[in-house]
Amino acid sequence: GAVVSQHPSRVICKSGTSVKIECRSLDFQATTMFWYRQFPKKSLMLMATSNEGSKATYEQGVEKDKFLINHASLTLSTLTVTSAHPEDSSFYICSAKGTGGTDTQYFGPGTRLTVL
Amino acid sequence: QKEVEQNSGPLSVPEGAIASLNCTYSDRVSQSFFWYRQYSGKSPELIMSIYSNGDKEDGRFTAQLNKASQYVSLLIRDSQPSDSATYLCAVNGDKIIFGKGTRLHILP
């Protein structure tokens, strides 16, 4: 149980384009999903927290107009990187926390974004 | 500033020995504690969660929690080369905070 999927696993795009990453909880309902970014050999950096049906809460320094987050259902959250630039190239990982009082986060497999 | 501190390593341990990973945290009201394993280029996977003082064992892994000392550790018995990874400590108070991780290298 507690499986989280991400799609795509890898994406290469041209500078200036937008990329959408999907995060799905496959066997549980996730009231809260988290989006992280990780640069090579660096630690996880929390970008934002999204609760189903409400606006995401962004961490300090993360541009909400650049990283659009939608959490429209209890099993799906999306992150859209708008007008991507090479410095946005990174490993983006989502995690989900289920209902029922548990505070355990389960991570998706990650999406490696390369912006040319 | 609430913090979770881990030694970045690398921690080198001979195969078959016990690997001991340590973590300290600053927020005294933290209630939940987690250890994740992350292989290079992969996302973290949950190994253990612990909520009360003492030891919790799961196979070769033992998590130890001491809330008075604000200290949580992970012991890996009979270390295998496949245990070589970065281990992340996470602490949940009003929000979950991750440490920067300890790189563990098991020497064959």
Name the residue with tokens 């259902």: A73
The string of pLDDT tens digits covering residues A23-80 is 999 988 888 999 999 998 888 999 999 988 888 999 999 999 999 999 888 899 999 9
Alpha-carbon distance values, A22 to A27, A103, B9, B49, B98 (Å): 16, 22, 34, 27, 23
* CB < 8 Å to A107, chain B: 36, 43-46
* pLDDT higher than threshold 70 for residue A100: no
The closest CB to that of A108, out of B43, B92, B99, belongs to B43
CB–CB of A67/A50 below 8 Å? Answer: no
* CB < 8 Å to B45, chain A: 107
* pLDDT higher than threshold 90 for residue B30: no
- Nearest chain B CA: its distance from A109 CA (Å): 5
* CB < 8 Å to B50, chain A: none
Q: What is the mean pLDDT of residues A69-97?
A: 94
The string of pLDDT tens digits covering residues B61-107 is 999 999 999 999 999 999 999 999 999 999 987 778 899 999 999 99
What per-residue confidence (pLDDT) applies to A113?
Answer: 97
- What does DSSP assign to residue A9? S
